[in-house]
Structure 1
Amino acid sequence: MKSPATLVLSLMLAVSLPAQFDLATPKAPVATKKPKDVTVHEDKRIDDYFWLREKENPEVKTYLEQENAYTEAALAPAKELRAALFKEMRGRIKEDDTGAKVPYLGWLYYTRTEKDKQYPIFCRIADLPGAAEEIILDLNKLGEGKPYVAIGHYRVSDDGTRLAYSIDWTGYRQYEVYVMDLATKQLVPQQIGKVADLEWGAGHDVLYYVTENEAKRSDKLHRWTLSAAAHELLRTENDELYNIDVAKSQDGRWLFSTAESKVTAEVFALPAADAKGAFRSLQPRIEDVKVQAEHHGDHFYFVTNRDAKNYKVVRAPESAPTQTEDVIPHNPAVKIEGLTPLARYLVIEERENGLPHLRVYNFADGKSARLDMPEAAYEVSESSNWQFDTDEFRFEYQSMVRPRSTFSANLATGQRTLVKQQEVLGGFDPKNYRAERIWATMRDGVKVPLSIVYRADIDRSKPQPFWLYGYGSYGISMPITFSGNRLSLLDRGVVFAIAHIRGGGELGEEWREAGRMEKKMTTFNDFVDCAQWLVDNKWTTPTQLVTSGGSAGGLLMGAVLNQRPDLFKAALVVVPFVDVLNTMLDATLPLTTEEYVEWGNPNIREQYLWMRAYSPYDNLKPASYPNVLVNVSFYDSQVPYWEGAKYLAKLRTLNQAKGTATLLHTNFGAGHGGASGRYDALHDTARDYAFFLSALGLAK
């Protein structure tokens, strides 16, 4: 007997099935045009929708609500499908579940979830037989009656007596800090707001924290002595390209505060036990040199790209931190991304040929080797390692067909223990799915990797419905992760792929450099070429190809649709950075000034022209666009809601295609990362998947 997916596949043809949207009732909202001259560098630009940024204007909210109603009406034919998708995805989740328990100072710290509750519960239990659980924070109670609540930081003092944590109450990523006595669960009377980072000094009386300015740039480092209720400003970073942070070394002996731009970093340090001292510079600020700091024994350890394009690990004595020697030399084929020192071993996170690796360096003999991984394409990363004097190192492993697992590796014996594996209910069997890693050739001859997953029983001799995802910015490598939700599309015959395009970090720093600043257009060309390669090689057809991207990936979507609107059936454009010129010309907005070294500074005419060539909002033109759903969040601090709203309003007026959906959804209770509650997030995913399936003609 054929499976439901096989039955669907047997009906699929390489021709277009009609999209299943209701675009007649009600009619699409029409945003009022209020022309504003935004001319710069003698480049005449008139922005009809600039007014949509007036967040407190009732007319703006009314318009966004009308768009939400229209989106719901357009998706009404898929109402039953959305309910089915939600039920399927929820059915794969173990709703009453407990996360991996993290050992620290005689306690085990963990989170757990309960059925029908949106948020995790933060707990601990003494590492003793028969010990009783202690609930530290129940986000369900904290978030009761609120549309949004999320934990930012969660720091236990190094004597285990106090917890410092931060909460975002709106989605704006503006955190308030609270300090709890872990024995009594009582809070210290004072709280502080607009905190971007925090860390304990030695003991439980001194807390270091970083605050942000009105543009959300993290610019001030403070010291809070709780017993004296005293706050002291330690450092101010005045360069608008830089943010500062604060962190403690793995051995707990040093505090580091890094001033960092997108391309340069300077590290400051202070002994954790020095409750009155000043931070001193360890590594000076050198343009285009980045550095991360750690500590072991009587040496500082640094990951740096100084004379090492893809980074190397060096060390220097505490007394002479600039006199470095190589520990892991530079390898042009391997990018070093981070390190974690334990008492006897140093674990280095590396990336080669697009895949992550963990290298273990033995302090005793100076030898190093990688941990073996069981699959050809996978994702591996450090898990929670709170202890220093241990040979146990925890890491997380997953692939597109293998759920996330937490392992503990004994670095002395090589033995691995499975600590926790994500349980996928609903009859999931990894043998029903197949993952591949293929390389597509770009227009300039460069090969770009694609990570692909699909049901093993699809007919590979025919083109199939296909979902292509991309990002390609900031040197970020798109992880090859498992998704229980995604199974709902795979089981309906949709193939999924990630295009690891230039501008990301998958193939090292040169990969990033090839897709930023004046070379940013390469990112968009790569994605178009990946899509065309999939069509040319019979994976799919333009009438079966849907695509998505969020944030800077939303910029990718906008630029790609302007370049090749004919290549896609539908696009999901999430919290998109599409109003590039207006945003980068407004230095009062979050992220603007610090990203001058990512996109360019539009106050400089040459760099303005780089962005002018691809800014999605400014390059919309009359064309036949595919089905488009734009998702924005009203409290998004990273990419304001109005960027996506303006983009959709303008696109709709220029769209010459008949019968294609142009939809906008605004989440009025979330920020850049979307809904904070797990069930709310599932409903949003069900809507997005229903949009894709409706566009593909597979909604019924």
Structure 2
Amino acid sequence: MSSDTPPVAKKVPAERTHHGDTVIDDYAWLADKDDPDTVAYLEAENAFTQDQTGHLKDLQEAVFQEIKSRTLETDLSVPTRKGGWWYYSRTEEGKQYGIQCRVRATGDTPPELKADEPLAGEEVLLDGNELAGDSPFFAMGTSAVSPDGTVLAYSTDFNGNERFTLRFKRLDTGEALPDEIPNIFYGGAWSADGSAFFYTIVDDAWRPYRLFRHIIGTAAEEDVLVYEEPDERFWIGVGLTRSERYIVLSAGSKITSEVRVLDADYPTGEFAVVRPRETGVEYSIDHAGDRFLILHNRRARNFEIASAPIDDPGTWTPLVEHREDTRLLDVDAFSDHVVVHFRKDGLTGIRVLPENAEPYEIPFPEPIHTAEPAGNPEFHTRRLRLAYTSMVTPPSVYDYDLTSRELILLKRRPVLGGYDPEDYEQFREWAVADDGTRVPVSIVARKGTSRPAPTVLYGYGSYESSIDPSFSVARLSLLDRGLVFAVAHVRGGGEMGRQWYEEGRLTSKKNSFSDFVAVARHLRSSGWSSEIVARGGSAGGLLMGAAVNLAPEEFSGVVAEVPFVDALNTILDPSLPLTVIEWDEWGDPLHNPDVYAYMKSYTPYENIDDRTYPPILAITSLNDTRVLYHEPAKWVARLRAVAAGGPFLLKTEMGAGHGGRSGRYDAWREEAFTLSWILDRVNAAEAKADTEEKR
């Protein structure tokens, strides 16, 4: 087969019956990644995609060079104080991965930053480039220094399946300890004396369900199973309170939480339940002196904050009461103040509760922005570290002085090549959905861009995850070519509070898709947009597939990255990773015929028809454990067999996971590939429109 000929997937009818409904799936065979025919098909798709995008080679290189030239390749993060050290990471020109470092602390003010040279007295903890070696993929899962600062626990993954190997390194000597533990999950927690490290492992469905205690200097086979979560809907995770007084074991489904705590001074003790799980009640904790602070939604849809005695943690006394217009996101306890991260009117904010003064909110300079606490490991501090960005302001790090109430800018990510935020402008618009709901839209463009303009419309809309306003260096390559970039904050996300999420999940999921189409139509009718290319990934890829099924005529192209487009078949199979956990998000079609019928009515793979679809680029990874590669592979195969239009392209990274390629230069090249495809789509669409107008 020539690479300029679209691959045709063979049809191997596989029959399934659920709730009296018999369905033939011609492409189910693609789920077997060990089948040589599967690999051959994916490789044929890659060859076809390469052929179809070959004319974009120069544009891809130009965009890659733009991203690279705007990025300060040798740079370092703002150091974070923990104990007697300042911790930071840095990058070096030409190297794919970051380098973790520290220097001894001599005061409360971070050392002066010099991007082109290491800080004086630098100690390298881990060099990702040395660890990666010649591996085409590399990722870190855990990096945690013991409380006394002498031992580093870290974990690595070399194929993208998010199963990490845990190792330990003495920082005072540089010695690699013999302790080695394979197949662990993210995260971990040290005991107070650094003698024990707690970690989690996953089951066959990729669910972290077991907590182990490892004693430094012993074999992994001797590690003690501390806790096992039997309920397949629940994940577990382990960490420390900021005070480092308590090890926290959290178990959570999509809608229910349960927390256990253990005094970090007694790692061989028993974890105690803070409050037994209650279906629909989510909560998390932090420790402050003689009390726990509890963020919870018990009889408080948008969450409230309670205080609870250490010796009676299940008795909750309101501290910050519930408000219908404000979603509380997080609470951070410090020695003499509490910090609350919240969301209101689609934007984030930060409130400070001093110990002996009235609460107040921290003001920020732009009406459209994203702000959150970041990098605050010290319990005793008079400064609060904040992360800030907007669609025109690069990621910025501030210290907020709690005494003077002053925002101190420590660093704004450099954007080389003469970037000036004054050359760009951001907007908040509101589209009206089919049911009359007002849907927020964030927009950024270069000043002077003529309208209507070609537009990239991004969306996600699941898990109460919010796509908050943020800056992107790569996006400048679109804006500077006259494109507009917009984010549709559709229901199913969390931008407008818990109700916004609830109105876009389970049997209200279709609101996410109709909201997205409503935003696209609003951008056209309000004069913003001419051609629209839609883009989304993972659950946002489901959004792409469902929206293009609803209104293929609205889009000049669709980019679907690691897209969850075969959702019904996946959610029907409890043996697959994440399935049982996902029933709280999407519903349980295996046991509930109404859920089955509802999902079947919207899932992208089942609802392709013979209308004319726009060109589609689907991007996936062979080792993805979250959205398996066969979902987009089957989707593209069916599009090609049933729909008109296209072309429909599938690009599979054969050695990576859910996040794609791991090295920063590799990631930039992948983004340049995607952006050049988008630019080609809007140029082709505009050329077609001009021709039709002349006719």
Counterpart for residue 203 of structure 1: 193
Q: Does 1:443 align with 2:441?
A: no
**1:535-567 superposed Cα distances (whole Å, 9 cap, x missing partner):** 1112123xx111100000000000011111111
Query: Among 456, 471, 476, which residue is 1:482 paired with?
Result: 471
In structure 2, the partner of 1:183 is: 172
Query: 3-state DSSP class of the match of 1:409?
Result: strand
1:555 and 2:555 aligned: no
Cα distance in 2 between the residues matched to 1:347 and 1:186? 39
Alignment partner of 1:422 is 2:413: yes
Whole-angstrom distance in 2 between the partners of 1:282 and 1:637: 32
Matches within 5 A, 1:78-89: 78-89=56-67
Contact 2:565-2:604 within 8 A present in 1 as well: yes
Checking the alignment, whether the CA contact within 8 Å between 1:345 and 1:391 is kept in structure 2 is no
Residue 524 (structure 1) aligned with residue 524 (structure 2): no
Which letter maps to 2:249?
Answer: S
Partner of residue 360, structure 1? 352
- How far off its partner does 1:274 sit? 0.9
Question: How far is the alpha carbon of 1:397 from its aligned partner?
Answer: 0.4
- Equivalent residue runs for 1:5-84 within 5 Å: 26-84=4-62
1:161-560 to 2 correspondences below 5 Å: 161-196=150-185, 197-229=187-219, 230-365=222-357, 367-459=358-450, 462-541=451-530, 544-560=531-547
Letter in 2 for 1:203: D
Q: Could you tell me whether the CA contact under 8 Å between 1:342 and 1:391 is conserved in 2?
A: no
Write out aligned runs for 1:105-120 (5 A): 105-120=83-98
**Could you list the per-position Cα deviations for residues 300-325 of structure 1 after superposition, in whole angstroms to 9, with x for gaps in the alignment?**
11000011110001011111112211
Decide which of 580, 594, 613 is 1:625's aligned counterpart.
613
Alignment of 1:105-184 (within 5 A): 105-128=83-106, 131-184=120-173
Letter in 2 for 1:134: E
Q: For residue 50 of structure 1, what is the amino acid of its counterpart?
A: A
| TM-score for the superposition, normalised by structure 1 | 0.94
CA 85–228 in structure 1, closer or farther in 2 if over 3 Å, else same: closer
Report the equivalent of 1:683.
669
Deviation at 1:409, TM superposition (A): 0.8
Distance in 1 (alpha carbons) for counterparts of 2:521 and 2:660: 31
SS in 1 for 2:232: coil
Q: Secondary structure at the match of 1:417?
A: strand
- In the TM superposition, what is the alpha-carbon distance from 1:225 to its structure 2 partner? 1.6
Take 1:625 and 1:195, find their aligned partners in 2: how far apart are those partners?
Answer: 43
- The answer on 1:569 being equivalent to 2:556 is yes
Quote how far apart the aligned CAs of 1:412 are: 2.0
CA displacement at 1:343 relative to structure 2: 1.1
1:201 Cα deviation (Å)?
Answer: 1.2
What is the distance in 2 between the residues matched to 1:656 and 1:213? 42
* Amino acid across the alignment from 1:318: I
Q: Is the 8 A contact 2:457 2:520 kept in 1?
A: yes
Superposition CA RMSD, Å = 1.5
Shift of 1:187: 2.1
Q: 1:549-606: per-residue Cα shift (whole Å, max 9, x none)?
A: 0000000000011111111000001000011121111111111000111001111211
Are 1:244 and 1:258, in contact at CA under 8 Å, matched by a contact in 2?
yes
Tell me the distance in 2 between the aligned counterparts of 1:201 and 1:25: 57
The letter for the 1-side match of 2:673 is R
Equivalent residues of 2:90, 2:99 under 8 A apart? yes
One-letter amino acid matched to 1:298: D
Equivalent residue number for residue 18 of structure 1: none
Identity among equivalent pairs (%): 39
Question: Does the 8 Å contact 1:205/1:226 carry over to 2?
Answer: yes
CA contact (8 A) 1:343 1:391 kept: no
Comparing both chains, which one has the higher relative contact order based on Cα–Cα distances under 8 Å and sequence gaps of 6 or more?
1
d(CA) in 2 for partners of 1:626, 1:638 = 27
CA distance in 1, matches of 2:338, 2:259: 20
Deviation of 1:194 (Å):
2.3
1:356-403 deviation digits (Å, cap 9, x = unpaired): 0111111234x3111101101011122111211111110110100000
Q: Specify the alignment match of 1:692 in structure 2.
A: 678
Contact 1:345 1:411 in 2 (8 A): no
Instruction: Give the TM-score normalised by structure 2.
Output: 0.95
**Residue identity in the other structure for 2:445:** Y
Partner of 1:579: 566
Secondary structure class of the residue paired with 2:583: helix
Task: Give me the whole-angstrom Cα distance separating, in 2, the residues matched to 1:363 and 1:609.
Answer: 54
Give the SS at the match of 2:365: coil
Q: Measured at CA, do residues 24 and 434 of structure 1 come closer, stay the same or move farther in structure 2, by a change above 3 Å?
A: farther
1:591 corresponds, among 562, 578, 585, to 578
Q: Which runs of 5+ in 2 are unaligned?
A: 112-118, 688-695
Deviation digits for residues 590-633 of structure 1 (CA, Å, limit 9, x no counterpart)? 11000111001111211111211111101111110001000000
The alpha carbon displacement at 1:443 in A equals 1.3
Alignment-derived partner of residue 4 in structure 1: none
Q: Partner amino acid for 1:48? A: D
- Equivalent pair of 2:542/2:604 in contact (CA under 8 Å): yes
Mean Cα deviation higher: 636-645 or 175-184: 175-184
Letter in 2 for 1:224: H
Q: Secondary structure at the match of 1:188?
A: strand
Q: Which residue of 2 aligns with 1:673?
A: 659
State the distance in 1 between where 2:55 and 2:544 align: 26
> Which residue pairs with 2:115 in the alignment?
none
SS of equivalent to 2:18: coil
Partner in structure 2 of residue 649 of structure 1: 637
Alpha-carbon deviation of 1:127? 2.4
Shift of 1:698: 6.4
Look up the SS of the partner of 1:255 in the other structure.
Answer: strand
Tell me what 2:116 maps to: none
Query: Structure 1 pair 143/228, CA: closer, same or farther in 2 (3 Å)?
Result: closer
Aligned pair 1:610/2:594, yes or no?
Answer: no
